[in-house]
Each structure stands twice: as C-alpha cells, then as structure tokens.
Chains A and B, each alone.
Chain A
Amino acid sequence: MQPRTLSHLRALEAESIHIIREVMAEFSKPVMLYSIGKDSSVMVRLAQKAFYPARIPFPLLHVDTTYKFQEMISFRDDFVKSIGADLIVRTNTEAIEAGANPFDLGTQRCCALLKTKALLDALAEGGYDAAFGGARRDEEKSRAKERIYSFRDKFGQWDPKNQRPELWNVYNSRVEKGETIRVFPLSNWTETDVWNYIQLENIPIVPLYYAKERQMVLRHGQLIPLEHNMRLTDGEQPQMVMSRMRSLGCTYCTGAIKSEATNLTQIVTELTEFRRSERENRIIDHDTEGSMEMKKREGYF
C-alpha cells in the first residue's frame, strides 16, 4: 500500500485551498488582491483549484500605482483573460494627477497614497468584507506573527497586540459591520516553496522574473530598471545588465538582481544559492527600522 503522506507542497496547497473556501463560505463579499507577482500567481492558481470546476467566484483586484512595469500590465491582462476571472483595477488618480511620485514624496508617502489609500478606497467602494493577499510570513519579521485571518478595524488598521488566537484549521470569521479581514492563504509558504510550486504546476509568471539584458542604473547599491522616463541624478549612467527581478513592486522601488537564470529550473537552482533575503531589494521595507510593521498598522497589506 502506498504511504498516505502528502509532500510539503501538496500539504501547503491543501491548507491554502481550505482557507480560500472557508472565506468564500463565511464572508459575504470577498475579493482577491492580485499584484501580478509570483505569489499572486500561486494564490490565483489555488483559487482555481479550490472552486474547480466552477470559476473563481470573486473578483481579482489590482491596485495600480501607474509605476508598475509595462510587462506586468500586459501579462496581467492576458493572464486574467485566459483564466476567465473578473479583474478590477484601481488607481488613486487624484494623487497621480497631483503628481505623486516617490522622488518628491519619498517612498513612505508615495506608498501611503498610491498603494494603501488606493487599496482602502477600493475595498470600501466595493463593500468587500474580506480581501485575500499573497503575503507570506517568511518575508519580513512583522509578518511572522500575523494571523492567517488578519482583522482590520473600520479604518483598515492592524493591531498586532490584539490578534485573535488561531487554532487548528478553525477560523473565527465574525466581524462587525464595517470591519474587514485580510486573509493570507500563503502564510506558511516560503519563497522556495512558491518557486517550487510554480515549477511543479507550470504556472505562468511575468517575464521580468527571467533574466535578460535590461537597461539599469545603479542607485544606492540597488540595480534599478530604467522605465517610465525615470529621472536620472547626476553621474548615473544607464547600462545593459543581464538581470532579473526576484520580487516585483513599483519600478523605482524594486531592485533587480544580476542573474543568468532564464528558466524556472535555473531560478530554483539560483534560489538555493542566495545569501541575501528576498525583500532586500524592496526599498520600502528599509525606510526606517520596523517600517513594514508601521505600514501594516496603517492598513498596508
């Protein structure tokens, strides 16, 4: 008789599918945050599996800061169409028209306006009472203690001192009107798990994750891709660099890594050789000590 043990990826898959279904069953209007990145791609695949043969019963929401890579946007549109999901795109157009950008505002203010505010507005406007996000606990220290069901008050804020105990696979979904939850089905996945799963399942991902020659500038020790007519400061010289993205965010705030990995196998192999963490290339995490925790308290994912 075959031993009845699931591999770690299938066990994580089962846990995530259970979470996604539980939210769908117990909340009146869920939405899934779709950031176009690798974690979102895995989360969407899990949602497809959870409701098969039905289609995903909730919309995908993309908060577009307009500073995303063009390759991300075209990938998003093709991908969403190919799986027959509903997509909602929201932008804080008011702030964009007022000229919001990370250079003049600083990354903290820029994130607060273009990401956090746009997100909170979109959630309020849609009347969503539960929003799935692809965050993982291994990403950043403050995430290690976040629950799978993360409660937000009427202002979308997180109180790390007052989290509900979460036992077994029994989730408490009771909320008052106006309160919402953020749900993290990938909480127990690591970066390695995500890549191994993408490879195992052959999940389509944005080509930016694959290495190729790209125009870059070196800024504060980070390789920043040249996009959206980025302003160059004195002495910055664009150069072609064989590189790829390890983690995707806004163009100016996501550093690339030098890499020769042009396919999934090479990416997975490269991953085992990394000596630096994934979010090191995400400029927003390092604004100040504990900056992710502060953003989360304010309502950031």
Chain B
Amino acid sequence: MIEEPKELLRFSTAGSVDDGKSTLIGRLLLETGSVYEDQLAAVAKSGINRSTGPIDLSLLTDGLRAEREQGITIDVAYRYFQTPRRKFIIADTPGHEQYTRNMATGASTADLAIVLIDARKGVLPQSKRHAFIASLLGIPHVAVAINKMDLVDFSETVFHSIEADFRAFAADLQIPLLQFFPVSALDGDNIVSKSARTPWYKGPAMLEYLETVPLDAGRNFKDLRFPVQYVVRPNLDFRGFAGQLASGILRPGDTVMALPSGRTTKVKSLPSFDGPLTEAFPPMAVTVELEDEIDISRGDMLVDPLRMPHVSRRLEAHIVWMQEAPLEAGNAYLLKHTTQTVTAHITEIRHRIDINTMAKQPATGLGLNEIGLVQIEAKRPLFYDIYRENRNTGCFILIDPETNATAGAGMITEAAWAGGGRRKQTSLQLEEGVLTPAERYKRNGHYPVTIWLTARKELAYLLERRLFDRGCQVHVLADDHETNLLPEFASVLNHAGVMAICSIASDDNSERDRAAAAIDRFVAIDPAELSTNDDHAVNMILSRLEQTGFLPSEISFDSGEGI
C-alpha cells in the first residue's frame, strides 16, 4: 500500500526564553508520535528538567551542546512531524532581538508562522517583533498561540484582551490571515485536541488548524518565471534548460520569452525521467526543451511575454542585515537573485526600521540584525517582481565579497527606473543606454523587428498602417534616396524599440544580406510569395510575423509605471 499523498506545510516558530515555544514544539512532536522512546529516554537521562511537568519537552528540540548547556536556542533548527493529512516542517528559531537574522531565515520558506505570547504578560515587544518579521518575510498565515492559559485560569477575558491588543498593533502590518489560540503547551490544552478547560473557545485546536489551513495563499500561478539554472546537453541533438519554476505554469506549445535577450520561442517539450510532462507548476524542478535554438544560459529567465517581470538594474528593498560589518551606502556586494549573481552597490539607505516599534529612523548604515529600506544598483539588469507579489523572484541575498559571508537578505519593495551607466553594444557600434530591449518590449508590446520587403512601396505603407492600428510602433524606410544606409537606419529604429519596414524596389541582395547579418530580428519577405492582392499580401506578412513570434496576436500595453 502506498501512503496517500500528503501536502507539505512549512511553518516557523519564534519565541523567547520562557514563553514555552520549545515546549509547544515538543508537545506537537510527542502527540503526533514523532518522538521515539529512546529519544524520550535520552531526555529523561539528561537529568535536566526546567519544566514543572514529568519530563522537560523542550529538551527534545535543543540541538547543540552550547545550547544544551546554556538552555537557549541560538540557531534555526528544523523539525519534522506528520499526520495522516500533512507533513510538517518546522523552522524553530530563537526569539531574541540579537537573533533577528535567524528568525528571518526560518521565516523565509514558511507558509505560516506561530507567534507565542505568554498569557500572563500580554503583547510584549518581542511578540510584535516576531509578527513584524513574519509580515516582512511575506508569510501569509500567522497563528498567535496565547500560551500558559493554565496560569491565568483559562480566562476568556484575558484571551480576548490580548487578541484585541495584537489585532490593533497588527493592523499596520501586512498579515493576510490571523488566527488566535488559547493554549497550554505544558498541559496540552488546544494543541492536538480541543480543551474542556476552554468551553468558551469555538475555534479549532492548533493541530487541526495546521492540518487544514489553505496552502494556496501566496502561490503565484499567473506570471511565468522560470530562472534557468543549468543547461542539460547530453549530446548535440538535445539542449534542455533545467530549473525550478518560481511562478506561473509551463506547457508544451506555450510562447515564452528569454530574458535578457528578449527573444521568443515556444516550449517544445518538458522531458523528464518519468516521461514527458503535460504541465509544470511551482515548485516543480523541470527541464524545458524549446522549439528554436536560441542562446540561453544560466541566469537567464523564461517569462510570459505578455506578463513581464521588471527588468532593471535598480531596485528598492527591505534588507535584514546578517553580519557584523555594517551595510553602508557606497558598499559593493554580490547580489544573488534567482540563478543570477551580480555585483551591486548600495546607492542609498532610505531609513532603518526599529523592529520593536516599527518606527522609521534616519540611518547611515545597518548593523547586525538591523532592518532597513535601501536602494541598490546592480551591474547587470535583474528580472524581478515585488516580493509581496512573488516571493521567489522578489527575494535576494547579499554576499560580502571579502568574507563570502551571507551578509544580508533582501525583499524587493519597489522597482526603480534604470539610470546612469552605459555599456557598449558591439553590433553596429550603437551605444546602448541602460534601457534594455526587454523594457522597451514591455512598453511597446512587440519586438523591434526589421521587415525587408522587396515590393511596391504602397504595400509597405499599407503594412505600416495595419501594424500601427494593431498598436505597434512602426516606421517605413523607403529606398528613394539613400539605399546604402537602410540597414543602419533600420537598426537605429530597432534599437529604439520601433519596427522598421525596409521597402526596396530592386532585388539587390547585397544590402539585404548586410541587414540580415547586422540585425537580430530580421524577416525578409520573398516577393515571389506575395499575392498581387494588397490585402492578401499584407495578411500573409502579418501571419508570418505572428508565426515567428515577433508579433503577439494581441498586444497588451504597459503604461510604463513600475517597470
């Protein structure tokens, strides 16, 4: 018998010494049968019991020697348990301010956060800190466990007053789904089953909630983002692009655009060890075979041309700083975003956020465990989304180039227009500014293709009209005067994101070949194919452009806001 498939829920817990977090986790592990007798025996044998119960459940989760000796949790520890419905991964993190980075680490992969509150003490700064970090790291569900209810006589009034306090403060945070539980981790009330000691509580026990809380919150199936991780090339006949879907859905036949080149093609197949797939969705790790041989390597991204990410060298992000040496404006780090690693400079520190009060303060730097909003400029364009909309393409890490340490974690809040800096484009010696072809594509909704049309000039103008009416930026270049510069003119137009129709009367192939060699997206129309009927001829050219993928069948405009 193969076990029924379970769902996977990852949650984080943050708590300070004495608020009962380790006991809560120990209780969940114990009551779901995830603790073996020899492990319990080892805890009993340790001779330590800081609890008032028969056995100190918190010892089940204490890992390292130093922690055992000092009785504190200093690092993220991962725990596992399962029920018939779900498998759970707990990222168990310490709650002290000096471990903010550990809390952020544990929260980064979590679908849900459990925040513990001591019922005797109410909402303390540390509870606020935990909720703030959960919100900052984009965790969709927050469960507030109001613990030690046994010490306040399971008072409904106490519970509701803490809930009200917490809700009042959390209103300023972006926490989509909040739930409150009156529990005693020590005695097990409302952990695995409903407690008879809280008859006034109508909600579920914690475990039931964990087993049923919807998992689709925060998952993005709309915007295709496939960061290319590795090129699989077993032989000359096969070239596959391997990666883990960050968001969106991939199916054979889908039109995809490769960034940064801006070239489009179609998905040919999704080959796998278990046979070809008909569909891939996050978080699947798949291999994509494309119809056309286009140059794609690690760090590139396949996206839906009609739902582009931001393509920019600049961004604004919340940073959690994780190393001693402070983050300061002007510093350079390695920024790793999806599968791309680039050098990036901190251009500005907008403010620091006091994690206890959430107040914004002016700052010249961020120290260890501090959080702030900063502007960053990367050496190469990144393909990203806002973290709130897409956790996988909105996150990055900063690496200290001197020590190789993971120095900071970033959550992108806003895209910033690219500016400054120039790089040389080798073909045609045109200086390319910082606007990328992909940005222009996003604005215009189509590729800057050059159409080489050896035909009567009227046909070129008719084609221009039809393309214009479909929303394209387009210009006719006719050979009335300077034929020998047509490829250069077309190239300039293309660089500006504009389609060029080169209308040539004679079939001088030398100019055509020169243009074909110099221009990336080039379509030459064979005069022999053209109908004598103008409308038919134009329709043929349009469908040809659609087939090559240069012209989407429907153009969606982007106002330009927020590129």
Contact = CB atoms under 8 A, between A and B. Distances in A.
Do A and B originate from a single complex?
A: yes
Interface of A: 3-15, 17-18, 21-22, 24-25, 48-55, 137-138, 141-142, 144-145, 160-161, 163-170, 172, 174-176, 187-188, 190, 192-193, 196, 199-200, 265, 268-269, 274-277, 280, 290, 293
B461 interface: no
Contacts of B7: 5, 7-8
Task: Say whether chain B's binding surface is mostly helix, strand, loop, or mixed.
Answer: mixed
Given A137-B78, A274-B36, A277-B39, A168 B109 contact: yes
A168 B283 contact: no
Count chain B CB atoms within 10 A of each CB in A141, A163, A176, A199 and give the residue with the most.
A141
B1 A268 contact: yes
B283 to A, nearest CB: 5
A293 B64 contact: yes
A54 B108 CA distance: 33
A198 to B, nearest CB: 11
28 contacts: A4-B221, A4-B281, A6-B283, A7-B5, A8-B82, A8-B87, A14-B283, A18-B229, A18-B285, A21-B242, A22-B229, A49-B273, A51-B232, A52-B271, A52-B272, A52-B273, A165-B409, A167-B108, A167-B395, A172-B405, A172-B406, A174-B334, A174-B404, A199-B2, A200-B2, A268-B1, A275-B37, A276-B36
B315 interface: no
**The 5 A-B residue pairs with the shortest CB-CB distance in the complex, in nearest-first order:** A7-B5, A54-B234, A174-B404, A277-B36, A17-B285
Contact of B399 (A48, A161, A174): A174
Nearest to A24: B230
B101 interface: yes
A144 B63 contact: yes
Contact of B283 (A11, A52, A163, A165): A11
Given A54-B232, A192-B82, A280-B38, 18 more contacts: A4-B219, A4-B221, A8-B6, A8-B82, A10-B5, A21-B242, A51-B232, A51-B242, A53-B240, A55-B234, A142-B63, A145-B78, A165-B406, A172-B336, A172-B404, A174-B404, A268-B1, A277-B38
Given A21-B230, A21-B285, A167 B104 contact: yes
Contacts of B244: 14, 17-18, 169
Contacts of A275: 36-37
A24 B229 CA distance: 10
B6 A7 contact: yes
B406 A11 contact: no
Contacts of B339: 22, 25
A234 to B, nearest CB: 28
A6 B391 CA distance: 18
B283 A15 contact: yes
Contacts of B68: 290
Contact of A176 (B108, B271, B399, B404): B404
A51 B272 CA distance: 9
Contacts of A268: 1, 3
A53 B242 CA distance: 11
Contact of B36 (A9, A192, A280): A280
Contact of B336 (A11, A21, A170, A277): A170
A145 B102 CA distance: 11
A23 to B, nearest CB: 10
B397 A172 contact: yes
Given A49-B273, A164-B406, A141 B38 contact: no
B76 to A, nearest CB: 7
A244 B537 CA distance: 77
A274 B37 CA distance: 9
B133 to A, nearest CB: 12
B38 A276 contact: yes
Given A53-B232, A145-B77, A276-B38, A188 B216 contact: no
Contacts of A144: 61, 63, 77-79
Given A49-B272, A167-B108, A276-B36, A25 B63 contact: no
A172 B336 CA distance: 8
Interface string B86-100: 110100000000000
B43 to A, nearest CB: 10
B232 A166 contact: no
B213 interface: no
Contact of A165 (B66, B86, B101, B281): B101
B75 interface: yes
B8 A11 contact: yes
Interface string B175-199: 0000000000000000000000000
B397 A167 contact: yes
B127 interface: no
A293 B249 CA distance: 43
Given A18-B244, A174-B399, A168 B392 contact: yes
B430 interface: no
Contacts of B89: 188
Contact of B395 (A161, A168, A274): A168
B281 to A, nearest CB: 5
B5 A8 contact: yes
B285 A50 contact: yes
